[in-house]
Amino acid sequence: MNAAYAALASLLWAEIAHADCRQALAIGLDVSASVDEQEYALQMQGVARALADPKVTSALLDQPLKPVWLAAYTWSGAESQRLILDWTAMTDADAILRAATAIGTAPRPALSPSTGVGTALLYGHALLDRGPDCWRYTLDLTGDGKNNSGPQPRQLALAPLGAALTVNALVIGSDEEEGWDGGDPGIAELTAWFWVEVVRGPDGFVEAALGFEDFEAAMTRKLLKELSGFAVGTAPPPRPEPVERGRGGAPEPLPEDG
C-alpha cells in the first residue's frame, strides 16, 4: 500500500512540476461601506502602482516560461463579491500593465453596510480552484474591519487544491489602540484578528498599512514577500498528501455575486 501511495504521489508531483504556472495569486479587496471614495481610490491605485513597481515587475517576470497568474476581485458584504480581473498570465511588462490598469480603474460596486470576510475567503478559494494548475496558490485579502456578516473565516473548511494554499492578509488601520472594547479596531487588534481568523498555510502572514495612504507601500512589501520564494530552477513546494483536483485546461468562468 505504501509503495502504491508513493508511486501515485510521485506521478501527481511530476504533473504539478510540469505545470506552466509557478504561482496563482488572487487578490481580494475590501470595498465595504467603511471604505470611503478617497480610500477606495488609494486602495485600487495602490495595487496598480505596486504591480508596476520595478522590483515587483522583476519578480513577476523572473521565470517567463513558468509565469505567475493573477486575478483580482472586490468584496464587501456576505453576498457582495465582484471579479475585476480574471486569470491573466504575467508573461511580460505589457501584461502586467494591462492587469494594473484593470484593477486601478475598476468602478466601485454598490456599497454594502456589512463586512463578509468569510465569504470573501470562500470566493477567493473558488476562484483559485477553477484557475490554472500551478505550483502554488496564494490568496490575498485586504481589510479594514472584522467580519460581521456571514460565516466566521476560521470556521470554514477549505477543500484542498492541487498544491499548497497560502492565505495572507493586508490590514488597514490606524495606530490607535482603541477598539478592543468594541469600538473601531486599531491596527493591533486588526492584525491579531486576521492572524487568528484568516491566515492559513505555514508561510502565511499579515502585512499592515497605517491608513490607506500607506496602502501602496504595504502592498508592494507584501507582493515582494509572496513572490520572493521562487528562484530559477525551484521545484514545487511539498504537500503532505496527494490531491486530485479533477479538472485541467483553461480556467472556467466564476459567476459573480452582487
CATH topology of domain 21-227: Rossmann fold (3.40.50)
**What are the Cα distances from residue 115, in Å, to 50, 78, 93, 165?**
25, 7, 35, 23
Q: Name the β-bridge partners of 136.
A: 164
Query: Does the pLDDT at position 112 exceed 60?
Result: yes
Can you tell me the mean pLDDT for 13-39? 82
pLDDT in tens, 192-227: 999 999 999 989 999 999 999 999 999 999 999 999
* Predicted TM-score (pTM) above 0.85: no
Q: Where are the domains of the chain?
A: 21-227
> Using CA atoms, how far apart are residues 108 and 91, in angstroms rounded to an integer?
28
More confident residue, 177 or 157: 157
Is residue 44 within 8 Å of 159, Cβ to Cβ? Answer: no
